[in-house]
Structures are given as C-alpha cells and as structure tokens.
Amino acid sequence: MDMNNIQEILEYNKSFVENKEYEKYTAGKFPTKKMAIITCMDTRLVEMLPKAMNLKNGDVKIIKNAGAIISQPFGSVMRSVLVAIYELGADEVLVVGHTECGMASLHAETMIGHMVERGVSEEVMSTLENSGIRLNKWLRGFDSVEEGVKHTVEVIKKHPLLPPGVPVHGMVIDSYTGELDLVAEGYEQ
C-alpha cells in the first residue's frame, strides 16, 4: 500500500487548519434549503453538482452512493433520507443521476469475476449464494439513467415511513456541462 495519498492529505490538512481556511465553510447541521439529495459517487460530480445547482456548504444534505440507487428500502441510503427528514429538517428529496454513469454498464458477472481475481475465494462466493445472497441481483446496475432515477424516486415515494406530502423529485445531470434535466416532478403528487 502506498501511503503517499494519506500523507499528502494530512500535510494539506495541517495547513488548512493552521490558516483557518475552514472558516469560509462554517455552516449549521440543518440544511438551509431543507432538502436531501441522493446522488452518485462519481468523481466528476464532487464539485460539479453543487456548482451546477448553486449549492453552498450547509444548504442541503447530500447522500452519495453508486448510481444514486436505493436498492434496499430499509438500507442505509433510505435511513439517511429519513434521518434528514425527521431529525434534520429536510422537507424535500431530490434524486440526481448523471450521464455516462458506470452503473448503467455494470455487469454483476464481470464484477464477481474481478472479486475472485482479487482474492475472494470461490468458497466465500458459494457460501454467500447458499445463504440466500444473490450477488447477481445485488450488484446489478440499470439500463437507463433516467429509469434508474425514476425507480429510486418511486422507492422513496412508496416508502411506508415517508411522511405524507414530502415532494420527491428526480433529475439527471450532464457529467460534462452540468445541465440538469428534470425527469420526475415531485410537486405533482
């Protein structure tokens, strides 16, 4: 393992703190725009998404995962959405997928092959399969980013713990230009 990345981060952080650069990011824990956003962990969106949406530190709660997908209604992503709503003051939810998402081309069989190549044993794979864990289903992506966003919007809207009247929207952001396309309007509920 190469420790250069960690060392570089720690060296930069020391300067960041000493020069009080954190002061320009001071914000409260409650989102001022009262919104939770679920988006992809894609590296192109780290700065692009907030800039394209005119978001500043403290404006929204941003929840990131692979593909902006809620694959399990009672998993950690949905729990984070519910915490944002019930405990942190969010009263809207926005799902933002993006063009050229890797989850659109994810093939479970290929990824499982990579796992085995990197040392996960066939015995582990067999044990998981025999325990009822269907890796082919769990690791699947989606055929269309728009459909992936709409599916996640529906999972949230139909969740039994979502309070009535919470708008859930869906958008797709262009990974290069930042242009947003509304694919699910949450105010029409």
Range(s) of the domain holding residue 129: 110-140
61 forms beta bridges with 36
- Three-state SS string over the chain comes to CCCHHHHHHHHHHHHHHHCCHHHHHCCCCCCCCCEEEEEECCCCHHHHHHHHCCCCCCCEEEEEEHHHCCCCCCCHHHHHHHHHHHCCCCCEEEEEEECCCHHHCCCHHHHHHHHHHCCCCHHHHHHHHHCCCCHHHHCCCCCCHHHHHHHHHHHHHCCCCCCCCCCEEEEEECCCCCCEEEEECHHHC
User: Both 23 and 60 in a single domain?
Assistant: yes
* One domain, residues 66 and 131: no
Any domain includes 5: no
- The one-letter amino acid code at 187 reads Y
Domain shared by 82 and 165, yes or no: yes
Residue 166 falls within a domain, yes or no?
Answer: yes
| 96 and 135 part of one domain | no
pLDDT of residue 189: 60
Determine how β-strand 92-98 pairs with β-strand 35-40: parallel
The confidence band for 188, taking pLDDT boundaries of 50, 70 and 90, is: confident
Where is average pLDDT lowest: 3-7, 93-97, 171-175? 3-7
pTM reported for the whole predicted model = 0.91
Question: Residues of the chain with pLDDT > 70: what percent?
Answer: 98
Note whether 97 and 71 are within 8 A (CB). no
Residue 134 and residue 66 share a domain: no
Number of structural domains found in the chain: 2
Do residues 174 and 136 share a domain?
no
Query: Is 42 a known ligand-binding residue?
Result: yes
Task: Give the CATH number, domain containing residue 56.
Answer: 3.40.1050.10
Residue 39 in any domain: the answer is: yes
The answer to whether residue 133 sits within a structural domain is yes
Whole-number percent of the chain with pLDDT over 90: 88
Q: Cα–Cα distance between 59 and 42 in angstroms, integer?
A: 20
Residues 131 and 163 grouped into a single domain: no
- The answer to whether the annotation marks 59 as part of a ligand binding site is no
Segment 73-106, tens digit of pLDDT: 999 999 999 999 999 999 999 999 999 999 988 8
pLDDT tens digits along 117-166: 999 999 999 999 999 999 988 888 888 999 999 999 999 999 999 999 99
The answer to whether residue 170 sits within a structural domain is yes
